[in-house]
Amino acid sequence: MVVGDVGRDDEVPELSSTVPYDAFKADIYALGNLLDKEYEQRYHRLEFLRPIIATMKQRQPELRLPADELVVLYKQILHTVNKNAPQWRLGLKSEGPYERMLNDTVAVARNGINNLKRYVG
């Protein structure tokens, strides 16, 4: 247990300079907040992370899974994701429809060329 309200993520609910809290649980929240703000909110095709992020950002620290259980949850969720999804580019949600269509087309072409090179040798 630690005390202190200074950290890289000031949104961690239990941060306190007087009440001891579990630093590992605070780190789980901070990492979930980072994944949410820097990735899931900014990019398309990361919706599969929502259950993990929601678990990590529980307001009550005792409801947050420890890191080893989060890895197990991630692997379980990954088995449900379309197998081709990891090959798609992460398009910014701020892209307009034409920009997104162009960037997706370029990404598909590059992926096709890379696959062709791999099969042809």
Q: What is the pLDDT of residues 5-36, one digit of tens each?
A: 777 788 999 988 899 999 999 999 999 999 99
The answer to whether residues 32 and 64 belong to one domain is: yes
Same domain, 23 and 43: yes
The string of pLDDT tens digits covering residues 51-93 is 999 999 999 999 999 999 999 999 999 888 877 666 778 899 9
**Domain around 70:** 2-85
Non-local CB neighbours of 109 within 8 Å, separated by 6+ positions: none
Q: Say if residue 43 is in the same domain as residue 99.
A: no
Residue whose structure tokens are 């789980």: 28
37 and 71 fall within a common domain: yes
